[in-house]
Chain A
Amino acid sequence: MPAPKLHADRDPDFVYVIYIAASPQKIWDALTDNQTERAWWAHTRQDSTFQAGDPILYRRAGNIDISGEILEREEPNRLVYTFQSYGPGPQHDEGPSIVTYEIQANGNSTMLKVTHSNFPADSRTRKSIQNGWPAILSGLKTVLEGGKAPEYANWGEGEAKAAQARAAREKAAQQ
């Protein structure tokens, strides 16, 4: 699977590093979980085999949020995939960006580095993800270190809509 064409005029890459008291394999397993609705990732479920060339979809509250394709897989150290808001909309129109996970043992803990790249200039997607990744990866660390995922008041507009949809479904189920 070839990487997407890079924007000529790009916003800076987003880079986030976090250290987690868990093995590289545990972190890999959480990032490639395709079975559960992950509370630490804004209650999304991933659909993917995580094999290079295969698609990846993020589903939230029954809707597709993000779609992409797996570009590289090197368990448990490296995963690269494309990331595009599911259309239509201005974020979708920015085209696919690229997410890279690097997972490296570091003494008694493990370093996880997320690099999100290939944003056009003045990207709306970048503005959204720069708030999302710290919340998501903080929650991942909490869960892998034995805690309960935080529920944030500010998952963002997408999460607010999804939460409304979840509440409506629960209400309908009760009636």
Chain B
Amino acid sequence: MTGSKFVYITYTRTTPEKLWAALIEPEFTRQYWANTHQVSDWKPGAEWKVMIPDGRVGDSGKVVEFDPPKRLVLTWQNQFMPELKAEGHSRLTYELEPAGSAVKLTLTHEMDKPESKLIGAVSNGWPHILASLKSLLETGESLVESRAWPKGV
């Protein structure tokens, strides 16, 4: 079956433990991921959601695998854009591995549906979010334009 898939690899000068914390902890995500934070008990089967600063749920799903600091798998359904929500659940995988003096992060966001609009949308969003995360961990400052939730969205 032909699905939709977005893969992005980035290398950050940090430790797997710090990168892992930055992917899930609110005090980090608020700085690089449009002022959002995630809510979850972070164990397999647990609910998971991304909270927009105004209180709406941005995306939600379940934790499928939780193996710190190496591998995190989530199901993911958009909740704030009807057209994307209608596509149902996608699957997001983070894989972390040491690579010399850096940590390699491989993000895979996929859906069993050809030409998914959700995968199209996140393909534009992830490079910006992950670039800002890398800046935050390496320099202490995220990218300025990634810090606030966009107006009118």
Q: Point out residues on A near B: beta carbons under 8 Å.
A: 16-21, 106-109, 131, 134-135, 138-139, 141-142, 145-148, 150-154
Task: Identify which of B82-90, B111-119, B125-133 touches chain A.
Answer: B125-133
Q: Is B139 an interface residue (CB 8 A)?
A: yes
Q: Are A153 and B13 in contact (CB under 8 A)?
A: no
Main secondary structure, interface of B, reads mixed
Q: Does B1 contact A (CB under 8 A)?
A: no
Considering only CB atoms, which chain A residue lies closest to B124 in the complex? Answer: A17
Number of interface residues of B (CB under 8 A): 25
B11 and A20 within 8 A (CB): no
Residues of B within 8 A of A (CB): 8-13, 98-102, 104, 127-128, 131-132, 134-135, 138-139, 141, 143-146
Q: Tell me, rounded to whole Å, the shortest Cβ–Cβ distance linking B33 to chain A.
A: 13
How many A-B residue pairs have C-beta atoms within 8 angstroms? Tell me.
76
Are A138 and B127 closer than 8 Å at their CB atoms?
A: no
A155 CA to B88 CA, complexed, in Å: 38
Contact with A19, one of B101, B128, B139 (Cβ below 8 angstroms): B128
Cβ contact within 8 Å between B11 and A138: yes
